[in-house]
Amino acid sequence: MSMKKLLITGANGQLGRELQTILAAGHAPIGPIDGSWADCDVVATDVDELDITDTQAVMDFVSAGGFDAIVNCAAATNVDGCETNHEFAQRLNAEAPANLARAAAAIDAVLVHVSTDYVLAGDDPMPQAEDAACAPNTAYGATKLAGEQAVAELCPKYFIVRTAWLYGTEGKNFVRTMVNLGKSHDRITVVCDQHGSPTFAGDLAWEILALLNTQGYGIYHCTANGATTWDVFARRIMANAGLSCEVVPVTTEEYSQQNPTAAPRPAWSILDNKHLRDTIGDHMPSWDVALDEFMATTTL
Ligand SMILES: NC(=O)c1ccc[n+]([C@@H]2O[C@H](COP(=O)([O-])OP(=O)(O)OC[C@H]3O[C@@H](n4cnc5c(N)ncnc54)[C@H](OP(=O)(O)O)[C@@H]3O)[C@@H](O)[C@H]2O)c1
């Protein structure tokens, strides 16, 4: 069998980097990469090599590349930024996935498009499975939902993989921000009434490659198991980093009084990895185990 060819877009972001790392290593913390993707030919692109908002460039690049699969890791992920620059968010989160979907369909490739819990209402304490009603409250969530809909409509072989509270080795994320704050502050305030499952991007990348061994196209939720709040997450980060910074809980209401321009954040971001469980099994670790291992093996 000939070697499979994989295109990564947005490859310099958190998920894109972790996907490249596990492909190069042949394994993630969860385990070895299974099947034909373990030794695939990887073409990693970010905006300089392939701007996914450029419809013609995407079609040309994908057609010429003859890819078996595309994993789109690019997005406008700055939630407040999407609110103030709706047009940019729409282009990158909604129109660009449509470009990728059309291009993938034209060569019969599989498209993995990564999405977010922000497409849901975020007001239900129960873990949300893939059939939960979508009702985004932010420009980020609304544009990501439009991207999902375009992918499902335009590309027959699609996986939409929703995640939440993502962190990785590279880039801006909560773990790095807390470590930096903890080094320079004795005390910080962190929101205590928003719930979710911190998810290591390397584990998500592993599940994406595992899904690519199947033809179970559709929508998947994929976060680490268990749930917590930002302040508990922050305390564990401080403890792992050996920092004595005190984490003082504040409510969302108190936080938004101090930061009136911030976009609303969901109180409940807990996803149920039901489709994953039913298709390939849910290999995602508990968020705390994954965090401890990540921090023990990563220089932040
Ligand atoms: N971060 C989270 O907590 C979180 C939570 C839920 C879901 N997600 C989803 O998970 C996915 C991965 O997120 P992430 O945190 O890894 O994202 P990220 O770190 O923000 O990376 C996105 C990458 O896309 C690149 N990019 C920007 N515009 C582009 C364009 N026109 N063409 C090609 N690439 C472009 C960015 O480059 P520049 O940096 O140069 O702009 C960046 O390297 C996204 O779909 C996101 O919506 C993330």
Domain span including residue 99? 5-172+197-226+270-285
Res 238: pLDDT = 98
User: Which of 46, 99, 161, 199 is the pocket-test mutation for ligand 1 (most atoms within 8 Å of CB)?
Assistant: 46
In ligand 1, the atom with minimum distance to the C-alpha of 117 is: 6
Q: Which residues are within 8 A (CB) of 225 and not within 5 positions of it... i.e. 6 or more apart?
A: 197, 273, 282, 284, 285, 286, 287
pLDDT tens profile 110-169: 999 999 999 999 999 999 999 999 999 999 999 999 999 999 999 999 999 999 999 999
> Mean pLDDT of all residues in the chain?
97
In ligand 1, the atom with minimum distance to the C-alpha of 144 is: 47
Residue 129 maps to a domain: yes
> What's the whole-model pTM score?
0.98
Residue 105 maps to a domain: yes
Flag whether pLDDT at 282 surpasses 70.
yes
Residue 260 maps to a domain: no
- How far apart are alpha carbons 112 and 219 in whole angstroms? 10
Tell me the average pLDDT across 220-236.
98
Q: Which residues are catalytic?
A: 140
Residue 182 maps to a domain: no
Task: Look at the chain and count its residues.
Answer: 300
Res 247: pLDDT = 98
Residues with CB under 6 A from ligand 1: 9-10, 12-15, 46-47, 51-53, 73-75, 77, 92, 114, 116, 144, 163-166, 171
Flag whether pLDDT at 2 surpasses 80.
no
Residue 207: half-sphere exposure toward Cβ, Cα within 13 Å: 30
Residue 153 maps to a domain: yes
Residue 26 maps to a domain: yes
Region of 281 (left: φ > 0; alpha: ψ -120 to 50; beta: rest) is left
- Domain count within the chain: 1
Residue 187 maps to a domain: no
CATH code of 125's domain: 3.40.50.720
| pLDDT tier for residue 1 given thresholds of 50, 70 and 90 | low
Res 34: pLDDT = 85
Flag whether pLDDT at 63 surpasses 70.
yes
Residue 293 maps to a domain: no
